Structure 1
Amino acid sequence: MSLACPSCGISNPPDTRYCEDCGVELIQPAAPLEPPPPRPPLPMAAASVLRGTSPPTRITEDVFVRPRSSPPVSGTRLQLTEAFLVHLGTGARLEVPVEKSIAYIGRANDDFPPDIDVSHLPDSDIVSRIHAAVHIQETTFFLEDAGSSNGTFLNDQPLPAGARHRRLLQPGDTFYLGKEHKVGFTFDLAT
């Protein structure tokens, strides 16, 4: 098989790199590609999981499967776990809406009403309209300062504003909205 020069069209021997007539570099035909080796069949469990709709999860270096969806849980999330903020001054129990992924704590306002309104509590004037947020992941709760003016304090430690500073909130933890510890709560769970 000879190589035709793309410039002058002269036939050249197959192992020639440059055209013998005009000196143009010859393009060597690509070697035929070998098909990749066949992959081993997926185990039956992995094959059945692939029919799901979840994003793939890496199991080995070259096999992806989709995680199984979690089994249905009897009862609603609200029936399984209830969370409360117990006001330290009055003992009032404010329910955390566990059906949400984020519950905002603050004073009532027209622009963005909080999920947990503390405006009826004593000294609530130091609480920002959107002061803090409780992040809810199944039965795990996190507290975050939502950029409040007077700060949030969890177990007497200041909580910097922002999602990267969220802290785990456990039953019995005490937190305060604002300086001087005027508006405080104890976190409580009931299952």
Structure 2
Amino acid sequence: MIVCPNCNHQNPDGATQCEACYTPLPASMSCPNCGTTVQTDASFCGQCGFNLKASGSTGSPDTPAPVSVPDVPDLDPPDPLIEPEPLSMSSQSPIPDPQPDPPPDLPVTQVGQSGTTTEEEEKPAPPEPETEPPPPPVATPKLGSVTQLQVQSVYLLHLQTQTKMELPSHLSVIHIGKPNDQIPPDIDVSGFPNSEIVSRVHADIRVEGDTYYLEDVGSANGTYINHTPLPKGDRHRLRKGDRISLGKGDMVTFLFQVS
């Protein structure tokens, strides 16, 4: 049977074209050793392995072809190994001392046109490095002198009596009014003239950093800033020289001062 190399269809012996796909079939022959059908361009038989390309070979595949072995001449035995002799210190040549390097920056002599040497030129001396001037002396304070830090002072100046009332620096809310059982005042105005128009809980000064704000907290006669009434719940940022009046008629008046 001849198997088609294109579609693997088995065709009868002697067919030249595949019955299924009409592909030309390779030519075949019988193996001279076992008689199996093989292709003519095959090198060995797929059944018995016979060498089909061997010219004039008629023997069986079990009989291998003689292999010619070239004659190898006998080699001379190698000489025995000789142990090396240890080197002695006396046989070694002394190592010469290294030559010192020539000194740098040797003076160079110039040769004139007549062949005679001229005098050596002197090299200019390198410039001296610039030195920084010494720092100015630091004045040391005399014994007994004390450095005083300037502390900002904030106070209210009562215009009717020219009395200064310094604001507490440790409070964030400063209450202004007269003694009472609910909120005791931090700035007590009960000793000033006409204090009867001031409520017991009259106004607050709130401190936020370096900024001071004035707020009316529900007084009966109101709070005025620079002759302008301050609505209840509103805040006014105080500035140096602001005029604060507690009650109507400008009878209890303070100036906001910073020194």
Q: Deviation at 1:126? A: 0.5
Q: Deviation at 1:80? A: 3.5
More strand by share: 1
Q: Which residue in the other structure is 1:185 paired with?
A: 254
Amino acid at match of 1:151: G
Q: Which residue in the other structure is 1:112 paired with?
A: 183
Unaligned residue ranges in structure 2 (runs of 5+): 1-147
Q: Which residue in the other structure is 2:243 paired with?
A: 174
Unaligned residue ranges in structure 1 (runs of 5+): 1-74
Amino acid at match of 1:161: K
Question: Identity rate of aligned residues, in percent?
Answer: 46
SS in 2 for 1:180: helix
1: distance between equivalents of 2:258 and 2:210?
9
Q: Which residue in the other structure is 2:201 paired with?
A: 130
2:153 to 82, 86, 92: 82
Could you tell me the TM-score, scaled by structure 2's length? 0.41
More helix by share: 1
Amino acid at match of 2:248: K
Amino acid at match of 2:186: D
2: distance between equivalents of 1:80 and 1:88?
24
Q: How does 1:37-52 map to 2 (within 5 A)?
A: none
2: distance between equivalents of 1:85 and 1:144?
15
Please state if 1:149 is matched with 2:230. no
2:166 to 86, 91, 95: 95
Kindly indicate whether the alpha-carbon contact (under 8 Å) linking 1:107 and 1:119 is maintained by their aligned counterparts in 2. Answer: yes
Q: Which of the two has higher C-alpha Rg? A: 2
2: distance between equivalents of 1:83 and 1:108?
23
SS in 2 for 1:80: coil
Could you tell me the TM-score, scaled by structure 1's length? 0.56
The superposition leaves residues 124-166 of structure 1 with CA deviations (integer Å, 9 ceiling, x where unpaired) of 011001111111112111111111010000011100011xx10
Structure number with the bigger relative contact order (C-alpha 8 A, sep ≥ 6) is: 1
* Structure 1 outlier segments of 4+, above 3 Å: none
RMSD over aligned Cα atoms: 1.8
Q: Which residue in the other structure is 1:28 paired with?
A: none
2: distance between equivalents of 1:171 and 1:98?
17
Q: Deviation at 1:92? A: 0.5
1: distance between equivalents of 2:237 and 2:151?
20
